[in-house]
Structure 1
Amino acid sequence: MSDDSPGPDARRPLFERLAALLLRVPEDREQLLGVLRQAHDRSLLDADALSMIEGVLQVAELSAVDVMVPRAQMDVIDVSEPPEAFLTKVIATAHSRFPVVEGDRDNVVGILHAKELLRMYGGEEVDLRDLLRPAIFIPESKRLNVLLREFRVNRNHLAIVVDEYGGTAGLITIEDVLEQIVGDIEDEFDFDEEIDHIVPVEPCAAGPRWRVRAIAGIRQLNEIAGSALSDEDVDTVGGLVTDTLGRVPRRGERVEIDGLVFEILRADARQVHLLLVERLASRHPDDQGAARD
Structure 2
Amino acid sequence: MEHAADGALSANAPASESDAGDSSEPHSRGLLGRLFGALGASTPDNDSEAPATPEPETAAAAGLPGIGNLRRMRVGDVAIPKVEIVAVPVGITRDELVAVFREQGYSRLPVFKDTLDTPLGLVHLKDLALEYGFGASSGRFSVKKLLRPLLFVPPSMPIGVLLQKMQVQRIHMALVIDEYGGVDGLVTLEDLIEQVIGEIEDEHDEAEGGFWKLEKPGQWVVLARAPVKDFEAEIGMTLADPEEEQEIDSMGGLVFMQIGRVPARGEVIKGENGVEYEIVDADPRRIKRLRVRLPGVAPAE
Q: Give the TM-score, by structure 1 length.
A: 0.52
More contact order relative to length (CA 8 Å, sep ≥ 6): 2
Cα pair 1:63 1:144 within 8 Å, conserved: yes
Look up the match of 1:123.
137
For structure 2, the residue ranges without an aligned partner over 5 or more in a row are 1-49, 208-223, 229-239, 263-282, 287-301
Q: CA 1:191–1:105 in structure 2 vs 1: closer, same or farther (change >3 Å)? A: farther
Match of 1:172 among 166, 187, 206: 187
Map residues 1-293 of structure 1 onto 2, 5 A cutoff. Answer: 29-30=54-55, 33=56, 55-118=66-129, 119-121=131-133, 122-125=136-139, 126-190=141-205, 231-234=241-244, 239=249, 276=285
Cα pair 1:137 1:160 within 8 Å, conserved: yes
Q: Deviations over 1:94-123 (max 9, x none)?
A: 211110011111111111111111212310
- d(CA) in 1 for partners of 2:110, 2:258: 39
Structure 1 residue 84: Cα displacement = 1.5
- d(CA) in 1 for partners of 2:246, 2:186: 28
- Hey, which of these two has a bigger chunk of helix by percent? 1
Look up the match of 1:227.
none
Q: Give the TM-score, by structure 2 length.
A: 0.50
Q: CA 1:175–1:276 in structure 2 vs 1: closer, same or farther (change >3 Å)? A: closer
- d(CA) in 2 for partners of 1:136, 1:154: 9
Look up the match of 1:251.
none
Structure 1 residue 156: Cα displacement = 1.4
Structure 1 residue 216: Cα displacement = 11
**Which one-letter code corresponds to 2:164 in the other structure?**
R
Structure 1 residue 238: Cα displacement = 5.2
Q: CA 1:64–1:79 in structure 2 vs 1: closer, same or farther (change >3 Å)? A: same
Structure 1 residue 91: Cα displacement = 1.2
- d(CA) in 1 for partners of 2:247, 2:89: 37
Structure 1 residue 261: Cα displacement = 8.8
SS where residue 90 of structure 1 aligns?
A: helix
- d(CA) in 2 for partners of 1:71, 1:96: 18
Look up the match of 1:288.
none
Q: CA 1:236–1:87 in structure 2 vs 1: closer, same or farther (change >3 Å)? A: farther
- d(CA) in 2 for partners of 1:236, 1:88: 44
**Which one-letter code corresponds to 1:72 in the other structure?**
V
Structure 1 residue 260: Cα displacement = 6.4
CA RMSD of aligned residues (A): 3.8
Percentage of matched positions with identical amino acids: 28
Structure 1 residue 68: Cα displacement = 0.8
Cα pair 1:216 1:236 within 8 Å, conserved: no
- d(CA) in 1 for partners of 2:244, 2:202: 29
SS where residue 29 of structure 1 aligns?
A: coil
Count of matched residue positions in the alignment of Structure 1 and Structure 2: 178
4+ runs of 1 displaced by more than 3 Å?
25-28, 213-217, 235-240, 257-262, 274-277
